[in-house]
Amino acid sequence: MKRTLVLVSAALLLLTLFACSENALMKSMSVNEKMDRGNALYEQGKWRKAAPYFQEVVFERRTAFTNEAQFKLAECYFNQEKWSDARYEYEELIRLFPDYSDIATAYYRLAQCWFEESLSFHYTQDETVSAIDAFRTFIERFPDHALVPQAQDFIVKAQYKLLQKKYMNGYIYYRTYDYSAALLYFNEVRAAALNDPIDCKSLYYSAKIHLYRKDYEKAQPVIAELVARYPQSREARRLGKRLAEKP
């Protein structure tokens, strides 16, 4: 056991010494050498190792390579799925170097970072809203860019997540007997005119609320729509018989 601990400690010491020596070597390099080394590692897909070299160039601020280093630093974080770090670096690129040759990709990646940071529909959707806004900004600024179709696809996915969140909110209010609030959310889902399980369930629970309230005049058309659009669904089978019933 003691021998294992000694070996582990020795290995950690060697790694620390190696990192310190590599860091000292990097500090002694010229900007050109740092950029060359960063690019070499970048081309090999060694994002973690390349990032410190680009970071060093970025710290210089006023070199011919600063804008490129800023972009590639963001790309290194993006490729490691460090979304928050990447987003910050893309934002810095957009702020400091708005005329960078590949600034359109930075706008697109920024939106992607927001999308990847967004949580499932069970949680708050602030990042999802930010992703939609960022993708729309990208499309408005670069309407002819090759990535516009992908940006539009991301917007559709993000908007669907927001609808899922609205359905979840409606269901929570339904289960807590706050029927007025539940109907507001279910109606928002229904207004999207999807052909989808959450639309089906929104119709189903809306109808049930009207039935609970004995508001048969409102319940009947909702049930009719449910049966017409989702005739094979369990929800339609459960409520379909109510169509023939009289209030």
What does pTM read for this prediction? 0.84
DSSP state of 244: G
Helices (H), 176-213: 179-191, 197-212
pLDDT higher than threshold 90 for residue 2: no
The pLDDT tens digits for 134-164 are 999 999 999 999 999 999 999 999 999 999 9
Sequence-separated (6 or more) residues with CB below 8 Å from residue 204:
226, 235, 238, 239
Sequence-separated (6 or more) residues with CB below 8 Å from residue 16:
none
Residue with tokens 């670096």: 89
The pLDDT tens digits for 163-186 are 999 999 999 999 999 999 999 999
The pLDDT tens digits for 67-79 are 999 999 999 999 9
Question: Positive or negative, the Cα torsion across 111, 114, 120, 122?
Answer: negative
Contact 71, 63 (CB under 8 A): no
